[in-house]
């Protein structure tokens, strides 16, 4: 459990609780809460990470206790059955007593608990829910990339803005998702303002202005020395004098946006100190192909000597919504290109790691 609001000396008067997969969003929530205190005295924002529950049962106990007292609850990125089942009864018990509960980018059981104003995703099918299904599209596996889905997500609130009634709460749900996926300090603060101003029971806090979500590249490059730390222009990256090799580094976009990048910075600095040119690239979601295709290869073929993934997820595909053939094709292309350029040191291939993990042992011929 992460509680980094730093509030002391005053009784907590209004509680926002975020239940998410890991704690990297605690930083933006902490900084946003500190700025929001001037407008919302007594506000607290707690982030509870499901990834901690397995090794630390007390973290789960604390998450359940926070939910029991929460006024607004945001749940996201919960897909694993063990996480969902661990927290679902607590969410169900608190759902009717809180001001709002939003489940986004999660298992269907979590999303259905959403209750925001007139939007009740547990209610019998209504015109609003039918509209949601039409706007969301098919639930069948799709090969759409993250960028195309984000374009749709940005478009939906603009469409719903002109539909009166319950559709405004549906629009609010989509906006919460858009704020969260663009999880910078600015967007997290605006999201909290938005939720509080729209759903808080405290009249003095209602109808406060909240900035719309800021957009960031779905596919891009990161470097701690860049102005703003992000770019889409590969020529803007710093390059060591006479680099001995080039390393493609895969990063998680959400960590870059939340400024939780100390581990990325350490790897980049270490590589550069050893004379390596580093291309640190990220893509939205868990499918790294857009970053690979956009920055690690070109018309002349592969542009790097080695590839290192710091995402913690599979190299290609991420969630199983990506079909098998694109995964296999990308893997074959990259294994052929990389094997031509580097010396291999695959130990215990036959009875050990899968190829995606063993590829971390590739040694560039520097």
Is 207 a residue whose pLDDT tops 70?
A: yes
Q: How many CA atoms lie within 13 A of 256 on its CB side?
A: 28
**Residues near 223 by Cβ (< 8 Å), separated by ≥ 6?**
229, 231, 237, 238, 268, 278, 280
Q: Which of the pair, 178 or 298, is modelled with greater confidence? A: 178
Once rounded to an integer, what is the mean pLDDT over residues 286-297? Answer: 86
- Chosen domain end from 205, 227, 247: 205
9 occurs within a structural domain:
no
Is 156 a residue whose pLDDT tops 80?
A: no
- Chosen domain end from 205, 227, 255: 205
1 occurs within a structural domain:
no
Closest by alpha carbon to 16, among 127, 98, 97, 119? 98
360 occurs within a structural domain:
yes
Q: Which of the pair, 252 or 144, is modelled with greater confidence? A: 252
Is 309 a residue whose pLDDT tops 50?
A: yes
CB burial readout 305-332, b (16+ within 10 A) else e = bbbbbebebbbbbbeebbeeeebeebbe
Residues 266 and 351 grouped into a single domain: yes
Once rounded to an integer, what is the mean pLDDT over residues 206-219? Answer: 92
Residue 83 pLDDT: 96
Residues 33 and 133 grouped into a single domain: yes
Residues 194 and 229 grouped into a single domain: no
Strand runs labelled E in 232-312: 245-252, 276-283, 297-298, 301-302, 306-309
Enter the tokens of residue 341: 């350029």
Q: Which of the pair, 198 or 7, is modelled with greater confidence? A: 198
DSSP type of residue 110: H
Residues 106 and 162 grouped into a single domain: yes
302: domain range?
A: 219-364
Residue 284 pLDDT: 84
Q: For the chain, what is the domain count?
A: 2
Mean pLDDT is lowest, of 140-144, 153-157, 175-179, for 140-144
72 occurs within a structural domain:
yes
Is 66 a residue whose pLDDT tops 50?
A: yes
Residues 186 and 241 grouped into a single domain: no
159 occurs within a structural domain:
yes
Is 110 a residue whose pLDDT tops 70?
A: yes
Task: Express as a percent the part of the chain with pLDDT over 70.
Answer: 70
Q: How confident is the model at residue 255 (pLDDT cuts 50, 70, 90)?
A: very high
Task: For residues 269 and 304, give the distance between their C-alpha atoms in angstroms, rounded to a whole number.
Answer: 18
CB 133 within 8 A of CB 127: no
- Chosen domain end from 178, 205, 232: 205
Q: Which of the pair, 127 or 358, is modelled with greater confidence? A: 127
Residues 297 and 161 grouped into a single domain: no
Residues 196 and 228 grouped into a single domain: no
Residue 340 pLDDT: 44
Q: How confident is the model at residue 311 (pLDDT cuts 50, 70, 90)?
A: confident
Residues 100 and 236 grouped into a single domain: no
Q: Which of the pair, 126 or 96, is modelled with greater confidence? A: 96
326 occurs within a structural domain:
yes
Mean pLDDT is lowest, of 57-71, 109-123, 174-188, 296-310, for 296-310
Once rounded to an integer, what is the mean pLDDT over residues 226-244? Answer: 93
211 occurs within a structural domain:
no
290 occurs within a structural domain:
yes
Residues 321 and 184 grouped into a single domain: no
């Amino acid at each position: 459990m992460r509680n980094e609001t730093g509030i002391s000396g005053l009784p907590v008067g209004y509680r926002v609780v975020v239940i998410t997969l890991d704690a990297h969003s605690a930083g933006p929530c902490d900084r946003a809460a500190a700025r929001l205190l001037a407008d919302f005295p007594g506000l607290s924002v707690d982030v509870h990470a499901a990834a901690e529950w397995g090794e630390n049962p007390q973290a789960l106990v604390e998450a359940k206790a926070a939910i029991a007292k929460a006024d607004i609850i945001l749940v996201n990125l919960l897909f694993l059955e063990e996480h969902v089942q661990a927290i679902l009864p607590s969410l169900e018990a608190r759902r009717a007593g809180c001001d709002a509960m939003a489940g986004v980018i999660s298992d269907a059981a979590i999303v259905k608990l959403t209750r925001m104003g007139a939007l009740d995703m547990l209610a019998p099918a209504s015109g609003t829910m039918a509209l949601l299904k039409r706007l969301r599209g098919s639930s069948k596996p799709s090969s759409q990339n993250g960028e195309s889905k984000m374009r749709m997500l940005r478009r939906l609130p603009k469409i719903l803005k002109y539909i009166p009634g319950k559709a405004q709460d549906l629009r609010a749900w989509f906006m919460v998702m858009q704020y969260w996926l663009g999880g910078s300090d600015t967007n997290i603060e605006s999201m909290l303002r938005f939720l509080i101003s729209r759903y808080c029971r405290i009249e003095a806090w209602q109808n406060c202005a909240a900035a719309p979500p800021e957009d960031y590249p779905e596919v891009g490059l990161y470097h701690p020395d860049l102005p703003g730390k992000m770019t889409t222009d590969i020529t803007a990256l710093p390059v060591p004098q006479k680099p001995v090799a080039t390393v493609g580094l895969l990063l998680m976009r959400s960590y870059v946006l939340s400024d939780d990048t100390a581990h990325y910075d350490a790897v980049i600095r270490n590589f550069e100190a050893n004379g390596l040119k580093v291309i640190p690239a990220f893509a939205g979601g868990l499918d790294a192909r857009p970053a690979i295709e956009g920055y690690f290869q070109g018309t002349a073929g592969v542009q790097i000597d080695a590839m290192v993934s710091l995402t913690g997820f599979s190299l290609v595909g991420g969630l199983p919504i990506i079909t098998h053939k694109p995964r296999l094709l990308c893997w074959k292309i990259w294994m052929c290109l990389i094997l031509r350029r580097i010396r291999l040191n695959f130990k215990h291939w036959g009875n050990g790691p899968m190829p995606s993990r063993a590829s971390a042992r590739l040694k560039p011929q520097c």
